[in-house]
Amino acid sequence: MTTKLDEFTKSKEKPSVEIETGNTVKITQNINGKKSFFEGLVIAKKHGKGLTGTITVRKVIDKVGVEKIFPLHLPTIEKIEVTKKGRTRKSKIYYIREKTKRVARKKIR
């Protein structure tokens, strides 16, 4: 027996790509008629594949780390492409933040 909430959730879901932590993804968004791209490493995936599911994507721009949290079913997202598959042992790879800081610090000196 399905409830009205379950039916609503299934009707709003988009077909999803298999996104895993460690993958490099390219996200295409259409904001006010202009396309914008964000390509980076998936460091966290939260709340599953349902309507509340999100991914955290990180990239480095001019030696500064930038992270964005994307809801998977955001209406402005046109497509999500997996450009490179990664292999990790953890579900959240927040330790990448510290590694990139250390590498950046060595390059500055």
pLDDT digits (tens, 9 = 90+) for 57-102: 999 998 889 999 999 888 899 999 999 998 899 999 999 988 866 6
Domain coordinates in residue numbering, the chain: 9-108
Q: Which residues of 86-95 are buried (b: 16+ CB within 10 A; e: fewer)?
A: eeeeeeebee
Degrees, nearest 5: CA angle 50-89-15: 25
User: What gap in Å lies between CA 42 and CA 108, rounded to an integer?
Assistant: 26
**Count of Cβ atoms closer than 10 Å to residue 1 Cβ:** 3
Q: Which of 2-16, 36-50, 62-76, 88-102 has the lowest mean pLDDT?
A: 2-16
- The arrangement of secondary structure in 9-108, i.e. its CATH architecture, is Roll (2.30)
| pLDDT at res. 102 | 66
Question: Rounded mean pLDDT of the chain?
Answer: 86
Beta-carbon contacts of residue 73 (< 8 Å; ≥ 6 apart): 12, 13, 14, 51, 53
Q: What percent of the chain has pLDDT over 90?
A: 51
Tell whether pTM > 0.85.
Answer: no
Residues facing residue 26 across a β-bridge: 39, 81
Do 54 and 71 form a contact (C-beta atoms < 8 A)? yes
